[in-house]
Structure 1
Amino acid sequence: MKLNTIKLQHFRKHDNLEFSPSGGITLVYGPNGTGKSNILEAIHFCALARGMNNAPDRECMNFAADHFLLQGFFESDLEVACDIQVSYSPREGKRISLNKSDLPRFSDLIGVVPCVTFSPLELPVVNGPPGERRRFVDSALCQISRTYLERLQQYRRILQQRNALLSKAAYEPHYKQSIHLWTEHLAEAAAAVMTDRLHFLEEFSVAVDEVFSLMGIGETPSISYRSSLGMSGDLAGFDVIKDFIFSRFSDINEQEIQRKQTLIGPHRDDFLFEIDGKEVKRYASQGQMRTFLIALKIALQKYIFSKKSEAPVFLLDDIFSELDDIRVEKVLEVIHESGQAIITSTSKKNIDFLDEVALHTLLNS
């Protein structure tokens, strides 16, 4: 997949901007605060129906504007055109169209344009709370599997219903009879989500190992599932996981009623990132954390390509400020000729295989 052209109207700092990157690596450079990252965010909107850092849609409008409009013109690796339009106004809300047909659900856009991002603001994926790592894994899986997206949505709906019953049962005991039925549904939905996640980690870990090797880091990474169920690592398979989950729910039923919430399940699970057997979050240096995150993103780009036979658009924001020159060179070597990549920087780099574009030339064109 590659982006041919994107047009921004009243989006962030840009009143009217058109950008056409090359099919390789394009470097957009310019001073801080001039809107380089806004271009990446606009591309991310067209691919995943939201901004890179989950900012409210309203905040993405240009100052004093009453709407924004994004038009992205993509082309698949099989040369099939894919035109996406995203608009937002406080009055009409967000609207998304694909090849001029409105999408009834924003989630229908997920996976159409595979997209992988790197931003310094994403470092919490490595050193932050479990929710950041769950979001990383779920976002990756949703881009390659419509089935997983639907299973995750179903799990969240059942979880919401069960939590509502637990809250009522704390004051009105007759609601306890209904909890058992929803627990059965939740155990089944949870097992489906966990089975997919475990299978993903098994394959994705191989891709991460390969990227570490290609980058010549000289360290051994590992990723494992840290379950809230107290589930041992050798449990695998849908039926085994489902039965184990249901058993655990029975054990903590009264505790959940007292707490008025579901205390175990995929929504509370975590993923353990390690380098040479030591937890990255606790023991890695800042440089190791940044390198680990970049390796995760490069591995994800390669993994999505292996599953969809479609190279994701790769968006890397301010990557040069995060790494020393040697690691930057390694990163660029790995992503070179791996599909389209768009990078932002405060300065020109004069590297042979980079197509470099000064932001001021875009603003003045």
Structure 2
Amino acid sequence: MHIENITLHQYRNYKDLALTFSPKINVFIGENAQGKTNVMEAIYALAMTKSHRTSNDKELIAWNEEYARVEGTISRKYGSFPLQLVITKQGKKTKVNHLLQSKLSEYIGQFNVVMFAPEDLNVVKGSPQFRRRFIDIEIGQISSTYLHELMQFTKILKQRNQFLKNAKYKKTDPVLLEVYTTQYVLSAAEIIHRRFLFMTLLQKWAARIHTSISRGKESLVIKYKSEKEITAQSTVEEIAAVLTTRLKEVEQRELERGVTLIGPHRDDLQFLVNDYDVQVYGSQGQQRTTALSLKLAEIELIKEQTQEAPVLLLDDVLSELDDYRQSHLLNTIKGEVQTFVTTTSVEGIEHATIKEAKMFHVEQGTVTEDISLKEE
């Protein structure tokens, strides 16, 4: 799988931009704040319908404009087809092969990407919400049904929370709470079950990759942390039974606080390196190795599930990795994974993969193919 070209219109600092890419590696070189990451973000947005940097879609629209449009041609094993994403201040519209998509969940998964940016270290050392977002994004790329289930869960959670909030200030019908809870438990159990299945698959790849990067010195174990009675072997029905019991136990606290206290929106991931929690006890190098292992594992998992390699987006991360981790990453992608790299300079990156890349120079929102660097 690769993206052949992209066209931006009124996207961030680009009024109009059209680029054609190499199916192997593409490098965007330029100083900071020139627009390199905006190109990377646009490729990501074309795949995922949203930015990796902001949750406010309006920020993607150029100043004083009403909409932004991103278009690209995607090549997959069954042929090439166009994708289109239009972002307005009222919402988003997507097209696959010129056909308007009624649901975003039907659009996502047409074009698979793995993004690795400095902020991805937050998956390892940041708050639980980063890790939950990581899980949901990656499962969503390989399963449109999961995205649909997640949207349903979010809707039911919002309704239940609104009921609990209202119950703080006025008497409410306990039977209605029971109805909301029953709906909530069924939806939450499906989400937790799917996440456990996904993390089991990801663990298989991440453990192997982490051992290789650490030259056999470290072992990585990823744990999905839900209610303690729930395990990777639990069925959906068993998960639902645990959630029902736990919700009954915390019902009074929920009514007092006006919020749902148990469920997938409270779950977390734990990364253990040689049996130590890397978030708490890991060195910066171990945290980076864990983040890199996760990203490379994502590539392998998507390949396994879709029979095609996703596109890899490396936004200003090569400089964050030491020579060994850098080489391991570039060796992994060589020749098989279309890759996009942003960097201020290619000096110090001594690797044949980079030297074979298509180079683009970015300056003040202008992108030009850098023929001189290519010839050198």
TM-score bracket, shorter-length normalisation? over 0.9
Whether the aligned pair in 2 keeps the contact of 1:21 and 1:342 (CA below 8 Å) is no
Q: Deviations over 1:232-266 (max 9, x none)?
A: 54761111111111111111211211111110101
Residue 103 of structure 1 is matched in structure 2 by 101
In 2, the alpha carbon distance for the partners of 1:8 and 1:171 equals: 50
Distance 1:28 1:53, change over 3 A: same
Partner of residue 12, structure 2: 12
User: How far 1:5 sits from its partner (Å)?
Assistant: 0.3
Contact 2:230 2:242 in 1 (8 A): no
Residues 1:225 and 2:224 aligned together: yes
The structural deviation recorded for 1:131 is 0.8
- Whichever residue aligns with residue 222 of structure 1, its letter is V
1:196 to 1:221, Cα distance in 2 relative to 1, 3 A = same
- Partner residue, 1:312: 310
Match of 1:45 in 2: 45
Whether the 8 Å CA contact 2:197–2:232 is kept in 1: the answer is: no
Q: CA deviation at 1:44?
A: 0.7
Instruction: Name the structure 1 match of 2:83.
Output: 84
Shift of 1:337: 2.9
Aligned to 2:345, the other structure's residue is in SS state coil
TM value normalised by structure 2: 0.90
Q: Which amino acid aligns with 1:52?
A: H
Paired residue for 2:201?
203
Tell me whether 1:131 sits opposite 2:135 in the alignment. no
Verify the 8 A CA contact 1:114 1:310 in the aligned structure 2.
Answer: no
SS at match of 2:9: strand
Secondary structure of 2:188's aligned partner? helix
Asked if the contact 2:10/2:69 (under 8 Å) is kept, the reply is: yes
> Does 1:181 pair with 2:183?
no
TM-fit CA distance, 1:207: 0.7
1:303 corresponds to which letter in structure 2? L
Maintained 8 Å contact 2:330/2:353: no
Aligned residue runs from structure 1 range 194-273, under 5 A: 194-217=192-215, 218-227=217-226, 229-231=227-229, 233=231, 236-273=234-271
The one-letter code matched in structure 1 to 2:121 is L
Paired residues in the alignment total 362
For residue 127 of structure 1, what is the amino acid of its counterpart?
K
User: Which digits, 9 at most, give the CA deviation of each residue in 1:180-235, with x for residues without a partner?
Assistant: 122112111111111111111111101101212343443111100111x3435476
- Alignment of 1:282 with 2:277, yes or no, is no
Cα pair 2:360 2:368 within 8 Å, conserved: no
For residues 65 and 286 of structure 2, the distance between their equivalents in structure 1, rounded to whole angstroms, comes to 42
Counterpart of 2:361 in structure 1 is 359
| Structure 2 residue aligned with 1:329 | 327
- 1:82 Cα shift? 2.3
Amino acid at match of 1:244: V
- Gaps of at least 5 residues in structure 1 are none
Give, in angstroms, the shift of residue 132 of structure 1.
Answer: 0.7
Q: Secondary structure at the match of 1:236?
A: coil
Give me the whole-angstrom Cα distance separating, in 2, the residues matched to 1:253 and 1:89.
Answer: 41
Residue aligned with 1:231, SS: coil
Q: Evaluate the alpha carbon distance shift between residue 66 and residue 174 of structure 1 in structure 2; reply closer, same or farther with a 3 A threshold.
A: closer
TM-score by length of structure 1 reads 0.93
Listed as ranges, the gaps of 5+ residues in structure 2 are 370-376
Which letter maps to 1:5? N
Aligned to 2:203, the other structure's residue is in SS state: helix
SS of 2:95's equivalent? Answer: strand
Write the distance in 1 (CA, Å) between the matches of 2:317 and 2:323. Answer: 11
How far residue 177 of structure 1 moved from its aligned partner, in angstroms, is: 1.8
Give aligned-pair identity as a percent.
Answer: 30
- Report SS of the residue matched to 1:68: strand
Q: Is the 8 A contact 1:2 1:77 kept in 2?
A: no
Contact 1:8 1:71 in 2 (8 A): yes
Find the counterpart in structure 2 of residue 153 from structure 1: 151
Structure 2 counterpart of 1:51, one-letter code: S
